[in-house]
Amino acid sequence: MIEKDTCELYCFDEEKVQRVQNALNQQNISGMAGMFKAFADETRMKVAFALCQEDELCVCDVANIIGSSLATASHHLRTLKKLGLVKYRKEGKLAFYSLEDEQVRQLIRLASSPRKEVTVVGTAYA
């Protein structure tokens, strides 16, 4: 017999639901989703990981690390910048990028730490 993984009786804890709904209303959920969407792209995750390894990289460094053109590296860095995940500074004709803050670095480190592999709909996720 297969055990159901859903409630067999509809009921809810009104206090818990209200607390969580209030917390949700105080958060920028679309901003959080956008951040994870940015990191869902493998190339952007490589860029973010590279910036996690070094305090700062120029666009040329990033292009060589990810094996892409300068235009592609710039595109991904601009996307991460627009989402507030990286910042840049100019030094002469070079543009240097770094992670926006320590929280972004911690998120990348957490995502890159070994964890139990899970299989979802025939695809293995680590």
Question: Per-residue pLDDT for 9 more than 90?
Answer: no
Domains and CATH numbers, the chain: 14-115 (1.10.10.10)
Average pLDDT across the chain, whole number: 88
Residue type, 50: A
- Between the alpha carbon of residue 70 and those of residues 19, 28, 67, the distances in Å are 47, 32, 10
Q: Angle 65-78-75 (CA atoms, 0-180°, nearest 5)?
A: 60
In this prediction, residue 123 has a pLDDT band, given cuts at 50, 70 and 90, of low
pLDDT in tens, 12-23: 899 999 999 999
pLDDT in tens, 97-119: 999 989 889 989 988 888 765 55
Closest CA to 76 of 53, 93, 51: 51
Q: Of 76-80, 82-86, 110-114, give the lowest mean pLDDT range.
A: 110-114
